[in-house]
Amino acid sequence: MSKPFTIGPLNHVGVAVPSLPDAIETYRALYGATDITEPFDMPAQGVKVCFVNLPNSQIELIEPLSEESPIWNFVQKNPKGGQHHVCFEVDDIHDAVSVMKERGATVLGEPRIGAHGTPIIFVHPKNSNGVLIELMETPKGDH
């Protein structure tokens, strides 16, 4: 008998920003963060990202690549940036999609490869008290 579906550990909090270099400087100068990954483009998702590595999680800093980016409107409405999503790990992304749909949630799009190189989906904020939830398949070899 398989175990019931539950979300796993918090993986990261996504923060949309108008400028990655400015945001990186904020986390370095204001918060003393020293372990920040090199920014990289994700053209398929329309964003440039980097991670602020913390002892127990990560902060994903996300900058839109263009006006076609899915976070462009978010940054236009929040010109200084803001919390965009919360990401939890799951054992199997396809199982997560099935369970979310069975439980009445709106899954946004199909599973796709996220910034950690593993499959992800997003669950509409209307299903989660106004918070956009990312579910990410736990990277193999982690935990």
Residues that are catalytic: 134
- Residue 96 clears pLDDT 70, i.e. is over it: yes
Distance CA 31, CA 1 (A): 46
Write the burial class of residue 50 (CB in 10 Å: 0-12 exposed, 13-18 middle, 19+ buried): buried
pTM to 2 decimals?
A: 0.92
Q: What is the pLDDT of residue 142?
A: 57
Q: Summarize the confidence of residues 89-96 as an average pLDDT.
A: 96
Distance CA 116, CA 69 (A): 19
- Residues 37-60: tens digit of each pLDDT: 999 999 999 999 999 999 999 999
- Which fold would CATH assign to domain 10-137? 2,3-Dihydroxybiphenyl 1,2-Dioxygenase; domain 1 (3.10.180)
